[in-house]
Structure 1
Amino acid sequence: MFVLPSNQKLRFLVLSGASLSSGLLLALSFPPLNYSLLSAFAVVPLMIALTHTHTWFERWLLGTLMGCVFWGGTCYWVYDVMHRYAHLSASAAMAIFIGFFVIKGIHSGLFAVLAGPLLKSPWAIPTISLAWVALEGTHQFIFTWLHLGNAAINMSVVARIAPYTGVYGLSFVLMVINTAVVILILKRPRKQLLWLSLPLLLYGLPGVPERRNGTETARLIQPNIHPDEVIQGRWTRQRATKHRTRMAVLSMDLESELTVDKPSMIIWPEYTIPAYYFDDPDFKMYIGELARQANAYMIFNTVEFSSTENGPRPLNSALTIDPNGDLVSHYSKRFLVPFGEFVPWPFSLVINRITVEAGDFLPGDDLSLAPIGDHTLGTFICYESVFAEGVREFVAAGAEVLVNISNDSWYGQTAARKQHLLIARMRALENQRWLLRATNDGITAIIDPGGRLQGWLPSFKEGVLTGHFNYESTLTWFSQFGEWFWWLSIAGTGLAIFVCRRTQSSL
């Protein structure tokens, strides 16, 4: 144990410094710096500090402080989006940003409340790790983004567990290591370290799928359209016509000096510009003719409208048309972006919308696959990539390849687009599916079933990515059973709390 100042204010200041350092180490584990190995030790300072607390409130404050630093450090781009694209004043944008990371930080506070007494248990390593996972999963009900396990996507041994447990299993392994380090520092009985054998079991699992070349060809288009062109009212009919001509050139790859295989599908990104397939006969004719000329399936984004009691509301949809120009698949985004496509209460009292049509989107309610010849494809849109369960449902329903169309231009030159790509890579690994990711201005990429990048385009540049992939039909454990490990973690945490209450006077 460490000696702390006897003065209570100085003592808590030292403990707060430990908590701050944990938040900082967690933030450093992800882009932009991406020092992922730090994730295996980042929570250690907080847990050491928890052993010097006397009340649940002290633990809650320290944990919340760590969470605020982590979420504020990784999602600093929230302020820029609010200020630049929502046109909020600097003070209003900052208020929302602070509210965002404080609310997110509360999860870490709850973890600290639980972890404090659990650290006294001989079962500290598994129970604390389960508690982390249990609380980590609740982020999906507010705003989910990075999980601790995302940092381990490049750790080949740890990543082996992803097809079985999803990202939660990777978070669990990293927390096992974090807690074991604490047990060592506190000089607890060595027999508690036997729980370290859990990560060793990973060596008995099949390795991450080997890198291999695909036999099918896809062409992904990155048009690089800045959102200001639309927001500032500069998107005219003439500009739209010029853009459509440009997209045709890119889709046919007419300017390429290389000889490439003819693609079986052409994928456009989620758009910043208005595209109305169902309400614009000219656009419908244009996209159909392009599919016929390319003799390929076309996957693209459109805005459509649905009648409601309060009038028509937009849906963000992905459509697939076949080489004959006929519509064969229609999917509407089910998981909407907070502040982008809907504004959660109570923030809706002060902010209306961010994008041209954002703020009142209607979520889709059906899962739709696209037939591609004898195969099937599942397309999810932008932010839906953060919902492991939502992506898994496509694969469980029969998707043999995944497509993610996204528009990350709202993030500007921040690390958010790299973080988003990191998340998408985990979805490919969990389901062991090729993932074709087309974005407006980066990062467009082809991801293999091992979560590795097989090709990508740099951000903020117009480009065409033509690459290869395969259709895969084998279902992983995670694809079949979903977030079972999260539910197991909830049950395990509940049992640990019950036992802890029986053996200790209070939490």
Structure 2
Amino acid sequence: MSARRRLLALVALALLAGGVQAWSMAPVARGWLQVLSVAALLALVSAAPPPRVWLVGGAFGLGWLGGTFWWLFISMYRYGHLPAWLAVLAVALLAALLAVYLALATALFVRCKRDRLWSDVVLWGALWLLAELARAQIFTGFPWGAAGYAHVDGPLAALAPWVGVYGIGAVAAMLGVLVQRGLATRGLVPRAGAVVVTGALVLLPAWTGGDFTRARSGLSVTLLQGNVPQDEKFEFSRLPETLDWHIKALLASTADLVIAPETAIPLLPAQLPPDLWDGLQSHFAQGRTRALIGVPLGDAGLGYTNSVAGFGAAGGPSFYRYDKHHLVPFGEFIPPGFRWFVDMMQMPLGDFARGPLVAPSFVVGAERVAPNICYEDLFGEELAARFVDRATAPTVLANVSNIGWFGESVAVDQHLLISRMRTLELQRPMVRATNTGATVAIDHRGVVTHRLAPHVRGVLEARVQGRDGATPFAWWAGRLGLWPLWVVGLCGVLLARRRA
């Protein structure tokens, strides 16, 4: 085989291995498969010519990321009415751009490694960590499909309250080196190292301790799932039926808290039928039930926000307000130079105003409920910022989402894994009220305790137990963001280079 054909074969296999990593994260988490995919990448890297090794790393990243968020095609083609070829190209270009970080990490690994096992283990783990952090934060970040989510049900999940999802991903990358070297050399050191690490992982939950938080009294919740087709959500002929179902379900709840999904009411309060908004405020001000409802707020002068309105707060009929802080590029803000692309899509998209990073919680009885909207729960460090003041820290998290943009795709399962990881990192229960799924209640250990089938209209009744206290992750990430992990990654590279 010629050198060119050999390189093309390696790139094709790397693309496939990246797809396997995407599959390891949904519809269910398969941590062992994620580690094997990293080991496969390293095997392909070792067989590639050093000047072209970045192509192998980039192809793995393209397969991984393209296989993770391919469902963006649905929103652009089905609902945005872009030509199919342009929608495919847009997803591929986004995946390729984000894969550059892993391509650089792979090239640096080959350049810096000295084939000394433990130095290479540290080096690869550090470079993987830095690549994932770069994808998570540069240009507002899009860390969907981070490697650590594959381990939400495995032994590495015990690390979540210490180092978060990116720390877990780095440890998994280090395990990939041990597996690859053990299979490639069949040497005593790699095999012994793999045995020691595997044994450590079995005992990890006991070593890391139990709960960092304490149980509270809890509350009952009602979660609504309207299952409104995305192409009908903003269709004025269907709005009366959609509003009628949501309003009736809200008013019928007798739980402590009832939650409706993101933009369950898709109109500004001033655009609603007369007395509807005031009627909601009056109803929840008089009874014991409180409500959180996804609705756009604002005006042309102050700007519009993707928000959650809370009714029944102590102090009278005025409503609580949470405005989304971390906005979706193209969907909620338009990056400079891309207006032409957004104008091609026939969607109600534009620029929203940002809410504050640290917003007050919504008080329901003895619990403090902290809303987040859509993919905001992808950014655990931003949620952790609400835990700096323990007196006002959330005791329950509430996510309102609308994944209807992406059809009946794996995005629903992926978003559920993301929410479960946040409950592990922060040791807080989370309730999720969504338009099409996954509408669930999750306890502070990441276990789904109540679930509504996706893509059906329904109401889920659940009980959740709030928590007090803070995990190590909540403490350092709330104060310092992800900077400690950047320091760990850079120090790991320097340490590995020095030992080599």
Same fold (TM over 0.5): yes
Q: Contact (CA 8 Å) 1:160, 1:208: kept in 2 or not?
A: no
Report the CA distance between 1:25 and its aligned residue: 1.7
- How much has 1:78 moved relative to structure 2? 1.0
The match for 1:277 is 269
Distance 1:298 1:17, change over 3 A: same
* Equivalent residue for 1:361, pick from 341, 352, 357: 352
| 1:127 equivalent in alignment to 2:123 | yes
Is 1:449 the counterpart of 2:444 in the alignment?
Answer: yes
Tell me by how many angstroms 1:33 deviates: 6.3
Residues 424 and 445, structure 2, Cα contact 8 Å, conserved in 1: yes
Task: Give how far 1:153 is off.
Answer: 0.6
Cα root mean square deviation, aligned: 3.0
1:73 is matched with which residue: 24, 46, 67? 67
Name the CA distance, whole Å, in 2 between partners of 1:293 and 1:248.
Answer: 16
Distance 1:136 1:154, change over 3 A: same
Amino acid aligned to 1:362: A
2:380 to 388, 405, 408: 388
Q: 1:419 aligns with which of 381, 394, 414?
A: 414
The residue aligned with 1:30 is 25
Cα deviation 1:124-161 (Å, max 9, x = unaligned): 11221121112111222332211111011111x21111
Where does residue 152 of structure 1 map in the other structure? 151
Which of 136, 139, 146 is residue 135 of structure 2 equivalent to?
139
Alpha-carbon distance, 1:273 to partner? 4.6
Residue in structure 2 matched with residue 83 of structure 1 by the alignment: 77
SS of aligned partner of 1:220: strand
Equivalent position of 1:229 in the other structure: 232
| 1:192 shift after superposition | 5.8
Could you say which residue in structure 2 is the equivalent of 1:111?
105
List alignment gaps of at least 5 residues for structure 1.
255-261
- The partner residue of 1:186 within 184, 187, 191 is 184
Name the structure 2 match of 1:206.
Answer: 209
Cα distance in 1, alignment partners of residues 28 and 419 from structure 2: 18
1:70-129 superposed Cα distances (whole Å, 9 cap, x missing partner): 111121111111112222122221221121111122122122112223362441112211
1:313 aligns with 2:279: no
Given candidates 386, 390, 400, the residue that maps to 2:395 is 400
285, 289, 293: which is aligned to 1:296? 289
Match of 1:349 in 2: 340
Deviation of the 1:359 alpha carbon: 2.0
Contact 2:76–2:87 (8 Å) recurs in 1: yes
In the alignment, which of 260, 272, 279 is matched to residue 268 of structure 1? 260
1:170 counterpart letter in structure 2? I
Q: In 2 relative to 1, CA 418–438 (structure 1 residues): closer, same or farther, beyond 3 Å?
A: same
Change (3 A) 1:461 1:214: farther
| CA distance 1:83–1:60, shift in 2 (3 Å) | same
Q: Determine whether 1:59 maps to 2:53.
A: yes
Amino acid in structure 1 at the alignment position of 2:222: R
Q: Answer whether contact 2:382 2:481 (CA < 8 A) is retained.
A: no
The question of whether the paired residues in 1 share the 8 Å contact of 2:22 and 2:145 is answered with no
CA offsets per residue over residues 456-506 of structure 1, 9 Å max, x none? 1111211111111112111111111118795444334434545676788xx
Measure, in 2, the Cα distance between the counterparts of 1:434 and 1:482. 18
Shift of 1:349: 2.8
What is the distance in 1 between the residues matched to 2:481 and 2:126?
9
Equivalent residue, structure 2, for 1:163: 161
CA contact (8 A) 1:59 1:113 kept: yes
Letter in structure 2 aligned against 1:26: Q
Q: Which amino acid is 2:142 matched to?
A: F
CA shift for structure 1 position 305 = 2.1
Shift of 1:189: 6.0
CA distance change for structure 1 residues 250 and 502 in 2, over 3 Å: closer, same or farther?
Answer: closer
How far off is 1:279 after superposition?
A: 6.5
> Deviations along 1:357-394, whole A, 9 cap, x unmatched?
42211221352222223432211111101111112223
Which digits, 9 at most, give the CA deviation of each residue in 1:47-77, with x for residues without a partner? 112223343x412111110111111112111
Partner SS state of residue 351, structure 1? helix
Using the alignment, how far apart are the partners of 2:485 and 2:192 within structure 1? Answer: 20
The total of aligned residue pairs comes to 483
2:490 corresponds to? 494
Match of 1:472 among 464, 467, 475: 467
Contact kept? 1:168, 1:485, Cα under 8 Å: no
Long gaps (5+) in structure 2: none
Say if 1:290 and 1:244 are closer, same or farther in 2 by CA, change over 3 A: farther
Report what 1:257 is aligned to.
none
Is the partner of 1:494 in helix, strand or coil? helix
**Residue 354 of structure 1: how far off its partner (Å):** 5.8
Distance change (3 Å), C-alpha of 1:366 and 1:205:
closer
C-alpha contact 1:447 1:454 (8 A) present in aligned 2: yes
| Higher normalized helix content (fraction of residues) | 2
